[in-house]
Chains A and B, each alone.
Chain A
Amino acid sequence: MSAEPEEWYEKLRAYEGRVAASGGQGRDPVNEPMIRHWCEAMGDTNPAYPGIAPPTMLQAWTMGGLGGHPGGSARSEAYDELLALLDEAGCTSVVATDCEQEYLRPLRPGDRITFDAVIESVSPRKTTKLGTGHFVTTRMDIQAGGELVGTHRFRILKYAPVRRKPDQQPDQQPDQKPNPEREPEQRPQQEPKARRPRPVINRDNAGFWEGVAAHQLLIQRCTGCGTLRFPWLPGCGGCGSPEWDTVAASGAGTVFSYVVMHHPPFPAFDPPYAVGLIELAEGVRIVSNITGVPHDKVRIGMPVELEFLRADDELELPVFRGAVA
């Protein structure tokens, strides 16, 4: 659909390989109280702790905490710039998606850690259940006493959240999970369906939607040259005349082309489903759903018949019922 401007992604990609943090220092040396708090929280009774720190605590030693790092963050200007660019593009929300750590030697109480990080990659724009955004991967090297003790690769999604309607409760929003769910089987099954998007009705297309309300699919006809046009436009593409009337479509058509939507999932739509470009008997084409036929049985040239689908209390839509050969 909407292509990402090449220059925009190039601008983001230019940050790959640049420093994300340098000369960071652990807020506290590795210490028994923090190890004990961690073990208590995790329910971890391993007797090796707190003689050594749980390896999975690696990132915790780099965190600024509530007070932040004294003397400011170790985060680089380049990383701040990248995040600001994404913020400006509307990708204001952030969620951690992946964490890969390697442990070269155990950390012990008294170890003082330092860290440096690099921006490893910035993904092209991706649409997830949370919203559309970019995955940013950083790789951090963690040292103690000048010796590399571990590496920490971290991936976040910076995204523009799917907007919530004010009349809906948060728990009715299956598409606002704080983590991206990339696998379709993870989608909650029980939650109420979101409503389909509302059409934008304006003075140029109001007549079309009045027709739909009366169960008619109205095609514009130029009264200057007689050319039919669809979708509705203020003037004729052939002769330029702004004068028009309408003809009601007979309802017969054929599948001119189609796609099957698998991913990404959108609210109110249940993939996989077919989206057809229907050529009406009158000659104009319309994009709509194909009903009555499994998505994998839709074929080009398949005859279809207009019907009206009541999506909800407020919305009716013209769709096309296919006939399996």
Chain B
Amino acid sequence: MTVTVRAGEALPPLHIPITRTLIVSGALASRDYQDVHHDAEAAREKGSPDIFMNILTTNGLVGRYITDHFGPRVHLRKVAIRLGAPNYPGDEMVLTGEVTSVADGTAEVAVTGTNGIGRHVTGTVTVELPTGSPTGAVR
């Protein structure tokens, strides 16, 4: 199986409900026991309105968004993200992506995750495509 990728191609958006369960299970799965990611009262004492998603979970969701789209045969080579507006419980994050370049069997995808407050994450993912994948028309 190969993957056809074209620069300029937009990835379908992925809607992720930001539940307490997601925030807490993501924090624990990443072994991040900072109280602001599971204890609402402690988070408030530190000036945050509620618990919020940790950066490792955001990183994991961005990785998942890319491999969900391109399939299990691609390899993530690089994930670089910057956080902005926090992901609080009850919100929804919509991940969107656009292939910005395709070269030498790798594609670069610009990813943005927007929530009800603003831009939660902006990032760039470099993904290695399965050998023999047609790269399509490079704009």
Contact = CB atoms under 8 A, between A and B. Distances in A.
Given A41-B57, A170-B49, A178-B36, A103 B78 contact: yes
Interface in A94-114: 96-103, 106
A268 B62 CA distance: 35
Tell me whether chain B's interface is mostly helix, strand or loop, or mixed: mixed
B32 A181 contact: no
Contacts of B64: 42-44, 46, 54, 56
B80 A100 contact: yes
A57 B64 CA distance: 11
Interface in A31-50: 34, 37-38, 40-44, 46-48
A46 B80 contact: no
A246 interface: no
Contacts of A41: 22, 25-26, 28-29, 57, 60
Nearest to A156: B55
A177 B46 CA distance: 10
Interface in B30-68: 30-33, 36, 43-44, 46-49, 52, 54-57, 59-64, 67-68
Nearest to A65: B31
Nearest to A43: B64
Given A42-B57, A46-B72, A100 B78 contact: yes
A315 to B, nearest CB: 24
A257 interface: no
Interface size range on A against B: 35 or more
Given A44-B67, A56-B79, A186 B118 contact: yes
A56 B60 contact: yes
Interface residues of B, number: 47
A97 B83 contact: yes
B75 A178 contact: no
A260 B45 CA distance: 35
Contacts of B60: 38, 41-42, 44, 54, 56-57
A71 to B, nearest CB: 17
Nearest to A38: B29
Contact of A181 (B43, B75, B78, B85): B85
Contact of B30 (A38, A66, A170, A187): A38
B84 A186 contact: yes
Contacts of A223: none
Contacts of A98: 80-83
Contact of A186 (B68, B73, B117): B117
B119 interface: yes
Contacts of B117: 177, 186, 188
A40 B64 CA distance: 11
Contacts of B22: 41
Contacts of A176: 47-49
A181 B84 contact: yes
Nearest to B27: A41
Q: Which of A63, A99, A161 counts the most B-chain CB atoms under 10 A from its CB? A: A99
Interface in A223-246: none
A59 interface: yes
A310 interface: no
Interface in A150-194: 161-162, 164, 170-171, 173, 176-183, 185-188
A177 B47 CA distance: 7
Contacts of A54: 60, 63-64
Interface of A: 27, 34, 37-38, 40-44, 46-48, 54-57, 59-60, 63-66, 93, 96-103, 106, 161-162, 164, 170-171, 173, 176-183, 185-188
14 contacts: A34-B29, A40-B25, A42-B64, A55-B76, A56-B62, A63-B31, A66-B31, A100-B78, A161-B47, A170-B48, A176-B49, A178-B52, A185-B118, A186-B118
Given A41-B22, A43-B64, 18 more contacts: A38-B60, A41-B26, A42-B26, A42-B57, A46-B72, A48-B72, A54-B60, A54-B63, A55-B76, A56-B63, A59-B56, A66-B31, A97-B82, A98-B80, A99-B80, A162-B47, A170-B47, A170-B49
